[in-house]
Amino acid sequence: MSRENETDSDARRVVITGMGVVSPVGNDLDSTWAGLLAGKSGGGRITAFDATEDFATRIACEVKEFDPLRYMDKRDARRYDRASQFALAAAAQAMASAGLEGIPEGMPPHRFGVIFGSGIGGIATFEEQHRKLIDQGPNRVSPFFIPMFIPDISAGLISMRWGLQGPNYATVSACASSAHAVGDAARHIRHGDADMMVAGGTEATITPMAIAGFAAMKAMSTRNDDPAHASRPFDLNRDGFVIGEGSAAVVLESVEHARARGATIFAEVVGYGLSGDAYHITAPPPDGYGAQKAMRMALEYAGATPGDVDYVNAHGTSTMADAVETHAIKEVLGERAREIVVGSTKSMTGHLLGASGALETIITAMVVREGRIPPTINFETPDPACDLDYAHHGMVERPVRMALTNSFGFGGHNVCLAIRRWD
């Protein structure tokens, strides 16, 4: 987004005051963050269904030991797809992290909104109900089928849980979905449509159809005998992404509102860039011009230069597109690209598809807050086309003033968010 139509007096600063995570590395922020810093892999054999030898890919990064009843009653749990269960859990954690049990006292409900993305929605529900249709006939399809699987339902459920009546919708842009959600939510606050927003994304796609579909595209790793080392962004021998699941949510609010209620501020969202490749249904253009545009827009929005960037949380999926992203980063940041860490936490979490952007926003916020950068694990053989510092020797400690986080999706959707340390 360009700042050409804004002035400093009419654009409000936006900060992160709450964060929640359900991930393959941990079921809350603390365990996830500790696991990432330690280089913990979330990969393993698929347990969600019987992934027989017929499946080319039989590995994934699954959420482990998740109990939805910590966040909802049994009746609601039965009526919500796994993706929505994750979403409510992450949102509940984020609200608690922000010191909120509900809408702050005195705030009109229409000043607090929700934007929550998902690339696919409740695909497990879709598959289950389709089997009922085929095996038992149309009268056996659940009346909850439609509201259980539509991608927007998590945003609706979050708004209903806390009575949030502000801007409320879902973003659906494949693997850029929740990055769009965070960026859009920040813009709504920046331009005065709301004072607070819950933003994030969710995904639960470790299902037979999803695994078969991605495998048919040859997009996923087939390193089935070594799931912990299968996701290897930027490594010469990468052979596809490892699918993950989970959810991440942030509470965003204006600086004025956060200060007035004495909130803890974790980081500031200072830039949002977005673009379309208009090139191919799944592949990026060889020079990554769409990614370049998104990164440049994020820097412009932030009023920043390449020299202000100390870290990039790359999209880094462990596919051939890693080389395209590396090229784009070098084009945008110039020599600065060789002085910073460009990491991919998907090496540990796998690819959470529509939830990945929000999760990596939180990871980036933690990096600028603590000055600790998670490693990119499983990097063993250098690729000449991927020649930056990916923190493949372990966690890196250094001050990070501002960082970029990239999210790119099938269809040519590109998002870059700029996150600045709050001092």
Any idea which residues carry the catalytic annotation?
A: 175, 315, 351
Beta partners for 312?
342, 404
**Does residue 178 contact residue 86 with C-beta atoms inside 8 Å?**
no
The token pair that represents 56 in the structure block: 């080319």
Question: Per the structure block, which two tokens stand in for 267?
Answer: 């980081």
Name the nearest CA neighbour of 391 among 44, 37, 61.
37
Supply 72's token pair: 């909802």
Q: What are the angstrom distances between the C-alpha of 123 and each of 148, 182, 340, 362? A: 9, 23, 39, 25
What tokens appear for 19 in the block?
A: 């964060």
- For residue 87, report the phi and psi dihedrals to the nearest 5 degrees: -60, -45
Tell me the HSE value of 270 on the side-chain side, using a 13 A CA sphere: 25
Q: What is the DSSP annotation of 286-352?
A: TT-HHHHHHHHHHHHHHT--GGG--EEE----SSTHHHHHHHHHHHHHGGGGGTSEEE-THHHH-B-
Q: What are phi and psi of 198, to 5 degrees?
A: -95, 125
- Strand order across the beta sheet in which 196-203 lies: 168-169, 112-117, 196-203, 246-254, 14-22, 267-276, 413-421, 402-409, 311-313, 341-343
* 316: alpha, beta or left? (left if phi > 0; alpha if psi -120 to 50): left
